[in-house]
């Protein structure tokens, strides 16, 4: 439960940041049993701009089908229904929030690079350790810090104070959010996704991405998002200055994932960090396409 004063102000969110129709429809469809590719295609085809961006992303190095995806049906066959759905949702959300008024105290460009970079890392990491989240790790990672955008837009004065306090005192942003607002960006982000009827698994990943051990369900998805978040921070793109070092033996997300994947202990973290260069290039490409 959010503090009353926070919940009251969040009631204004729909007046400014409404989830695009195509994303709303897709979320509704993929929750049903026996969803067909034709149903998904009909929804996406309603928005030619989204369709064009989807095809450009599908043909980019992000998915490895360069030049092979020339129509929506082929994208659905090659990428799969859920992957296509999650790409469309990601593009829709990015284009919605990127239009909001800028805040000179908050580096929006860095924020989106971190968010989409984390999603690219999550896809790569899940594949390497043999865990299949059916694309949910991608969209959950894009959205893991969406509460910060909500704070930026609807709690601007408090958000600036939080950022300044964290910077001057050397403490975590999370601690100052709790102290000033009585809740965190993770809890606010989860509230927004629940309000928009996102799957509970994605809302849980957002809610508990700083504390995967507290997640009552979907712990492995939460943990893949958290670990990818940490790796993106370690690579140098992020906001959590309290992430200084990483030790698998001490990391909660690593321990949780280790219970689900024997391959995790074979992961060379230093080599993986070196490979992140490619993932960040893909993240920049995603942003470039989404903005076009």
pLDDT in tens, 225-267: 999 999 998 888 876 655 556 777 788 999 999 999 989 988 8
- Which pLDDT value is given to residue 206? 97
The DSSP 8-state label assigned to residue 20 in this structure reads P
What pLDDT is stored for residue 241 in this prediction? 53
Q: List the CATH number of the domain containing 207.
A: 1.10.3210.10
| Nearest CA among 195, 218, 214, 212 for reference residue 254 | 212
Q: Give the C-alpha separation, 93 to 147, whole Å.
A: 13
* Enclosing domain of residue 53: 10-99
Question: How far are the Cα atoms of 50, 78, 162, 235, 258 from residue 66, in angstroms, in the given order?
Answer: 18, 12, 44, 27, 34
At residue 131, the pLDDT reads: 94
Angle between helices 21-30 and 37-44 (to 10 degrees): 170
Contact between 179 and 186 under an 8 Å Cβ cutoff? The reply is no
**What's the pLDDT score for residue 159?**
93
What is the distance between the terminal CA atoms of the chain, rounded to a whole angstrom?
38
Single out the residue in 99, 119, 139 at which a domain terminates.
99
Per-residue pLDDT at 99: 72
Query: Is residue 4 situated within a structural domain?
Result: no
What pLDDT is stored for residue 15 in this prediction? 60
pLDDT at 17: 62
Together in a domain, 163 and 266: yes
Retrieve residue 165's tokens. 């306090």
Domain end point (choices 55, 81, 99): 99
Contact of 180 with 3, CB cutoff 8 Å: no
Number of domains, the chain: 2
Regarding pTM above 0.85, the answer is yes
Residue for token pair 């059916």 = 134
Low-confidence residues of the chain: pLDDT under 70: 14-18, 239-245
| Residue tagged 């990818």 (tokens) | 228
94 and 107 belong to one structural domain: no
In a domain, 5, yes or no: no
User: Helices 185-195 and 200-207 sit at what angle, rounded to 10 degrees?
Assistant: 170
Last residue of a domain, one of 62, 77, 99: 99
- Taking the C-alpha atoms of residue 131 and residue 264, their distance in angstroms, rounded to an integer, is 10
Q: Looking at residue 240, what is its pLDDT?
A: 62
Same domain, 209 and 282: yes
């Amino acid at each position: 439960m959010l503090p009353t004063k926070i919940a009251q102000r969040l009631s204004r969110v729909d007046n400014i940041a409404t989830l695009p129709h195509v994303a709303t429809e897709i979320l509704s469809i993929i929750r049903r049993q026996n969803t067909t590719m034709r149903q998904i295609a009909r929804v996406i085809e309603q928005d030619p701009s989204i369709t064009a961006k989807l095809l450009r992303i599908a043909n980019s190095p992000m998915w490895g089908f360069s030049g092979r995806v020339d129509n929506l049906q082929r994208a659905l066959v090659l990428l799969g229904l859920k992957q296509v759905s999650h790409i469309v949702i990601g593009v829709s959300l990015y284009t919605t929030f990127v239009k909001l008024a800028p805040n000179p105290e908050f580096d929006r460009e860095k924020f989106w690079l971190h968010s989409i970079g984390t999603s690219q890392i999550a896809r790569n990491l899940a594949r390497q350790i043999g865990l299949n989240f059916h694309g949910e790790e991608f969209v959950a990672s894009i959205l893991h810090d969406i509460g910060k955008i909500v704070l930026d837009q609807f709690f601007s004065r408090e958000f600036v104070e939080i950022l300044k306090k964290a910077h001057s005192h050397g403490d975590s942003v999370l601690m100052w959010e709790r102290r000033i607002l009585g809740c965190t960006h993770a809890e606010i982000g989860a509230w927004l996704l629940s309000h928009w009827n996102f799957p509970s698994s994605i809302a849980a990943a957002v809610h508990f991405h700083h504390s995967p051990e507290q997640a009552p369900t979907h712990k492995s998805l939460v943990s893949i998002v958290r670990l990818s978040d940490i790796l993106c921070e370690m690579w140098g793109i992020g906001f959590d200055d309290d992430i200084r070092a990483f030790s698998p033996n001490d990391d909660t997300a690593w321990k949780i994932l280790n219970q689900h994947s024997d391959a995790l202990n074979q992961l060379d973290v230093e080599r993986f960090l070196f490979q992140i260069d490619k993932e960040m290039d893909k993240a920049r490409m995603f942003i470039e396409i989404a903005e076009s």
